[in-house]
Amino acid sequence: MRASLPPDPEARPTPSDAAAAWLRRYFLTLLLLGLAGLLLLAPYAAWWLHASGDAAVERAVAAQASGRFALFGSGVSQDFVDYKLQLYAALRPDIAAVGSSRVMQFRGAWFRRPFCNMGGVAGNLAVLRSTVDAMLRLHRPRAVILGLDFWWFLPQWEAEPFQEVPPTAGSYNYGFASLKKPWQWLLEGKISLRELAAPLLGLAGSGFREDRFGIMAQQTDDGFGPDGSWYATAEVTGQKPPLDFQFRDTLAQVAQGSRAFFRARPGQEGPSGEHLDALAEIWCRLRSRGVQTFVFIAPLSGRVLDAMRRTPEAWPHLFRLREALAARGIDALDCTDPRALASDDCEFIDGFHGGEVTYARILRRMADRWPALLAFVDMERIDAVIRDWPGHVLVPDSRVTTLPETDFMRFGCPGRGTRGGGEDRP
């Protein structure tokens, strides 16, 4: 009888082979579950973004241009140029305000002629040029109000002001980055389960509001109005704490010389000549097309300006900007110090964004300085805003919110919350 042979050790799986097989099955299962999830989650995210209006720029612009009061406040992207150019093309305004976020408080109600606020389209001079060119290709307005940021004239902010750059990146879309947003916001606590289910609730008539486009507009009435101006409703009405409480973040930037408050390099005695030339070239482009151009230097809060004045040599590109522009033939209204306009910190959204009443004061001063603006400006409405709402950021408007303005910075601002919210603007 033949002796049985021991089993071949290579004929049976080793522990390492078994573990590898188990890992393969595990990750394959995860992959299949992930693919299945994408097949379900991605279409729902697209439906959610469409229903909320976060990526529905064309639908928002159509509603606003139709004469309805609607707000567009998307959480998908803060690159506003796509939206603003479409709104501009739809409105075809006689006068437009152009610049960074620091011109977004000019209101269409203050003008006799069709107006569009193009604030937020330019973070530097190169983008300002490309956006102005895009605007002129779409429609030539009769006049432009051009707001300047002093940091535009510093090489540390923008190395090549004559660089050719596209005005926009097409950021409101249904790509992967956008499709993951609703789920990301849910995990971060920025939206609730009920808000995530809003498209389903909408089938029962209790979903998203039809006159709000984008989750910011849906949640807190933050967003752009039909004229392109911005409503900072959430912070001003106390729905959210201010990001720049008592201007501490801005004052920290001043102290550190960071971000928009970069200090000038040693030996720099004023704004960069190359950047001044870039602005002059943009100004000439507008004037050569027959567009009346009114230039102002945007304001800072009094507290922030006082902090900068302690070391004026650090910011010659601010304190010598007006005279440097004048040397190139550009007459600019210097609104750096709001106290010269009878405005104060109670009228500021943060350390370097004035509110609606501050900008009514700026427009009033511009009309006084340049009578040509009187053909566009409704002085009675501006005077009513300045007279009735001093020390406020927003003029109450029931189409935006019925919540009253609060003393959200805790500066002890008088009259906050004592007048009934929800009054219609003058």
Q: Residue 296, by phi and psi: left (phi above 0), alpha (psi -120 to 50) or beta? A: beta
* Residues 381, 110 contacting (CB under 8 angstroms): yes
Give the Cα separation of 63 and 196 in Å (integer). 24
In sequence order, the β-bridge partners of residue 231 are: 223
Tokens of residue 162, six digits: 């004559």
Give the Cα separation of 297 and 368 in Å (integer). 16
- What pLDDT was estimated at residue 202? 74
Domain with CATH 3.40.50 in the chain: 78-164+242-426
Tokens of residue 269, six digits: 């005695």
Tokens of residue 311, six digits: 């070391």
- What pLDDT was estimated at residue 101? 96
> 78-164+242-426: which CATH architecture?
3-Layer(aba) Sandwich (3.40)
Strands laid side by side in the 71-72 sheet: 212-213, 71-72, 223-224, 230-231
- What pLDDT was estimated at residue 170? 63
Report which of 337, 334, 331 is spatially closest to residue 352, judged by C-alpha positions: 337
Looking up tokens 């040599």 gives 313
- What pLDDT was estimated at residue 179? 85
pLDDT along the chain (426 residues), means of 10: 50 62 65 56 86 90 94 88 94 98 98 97 95 96 98 96 82 78 88 89 74 95 98 96 97 96 93 97 97 98 98 96 97 98 98 98 98 97 97 96 96 70 40
What residue ranges in 266-331 does DSSP mark as E strands? 292-297
Burial 241-251 (b: 16+ CB within 10 A, else e): ebebeebeebb
Give the Cα separation of 426 and 85 in Å (integer). 28
In sequence order, the β-bridge partners of residue 212 are: 71
Burial of 194 (0-12, 13-18, 19+ CB in 10 A): exposed
- What pLDDT was estimated at residue 421? 38
Tokens of residue 395, six digits: 């003029």
Helix (H, G, I), strand (E, B) or coil at 351: coil
- What pLDDT was estimated at residue 420? 37
pLDDT digits (tens, 9 = 90+) for 169-224: 667 777 778 888 888 898 899 999 889 888 888 765 568 999 999 999 999 999 99
In sequence order, the β-bridge partners of residue 377 are: 111
How many angstroms separate the Cα of 318 from the Cα of each of 91, 176, 267, 294? Answer: 34, 41, 15, 19
Give the Cα separation of 127 and 279 in Å (integer). 11
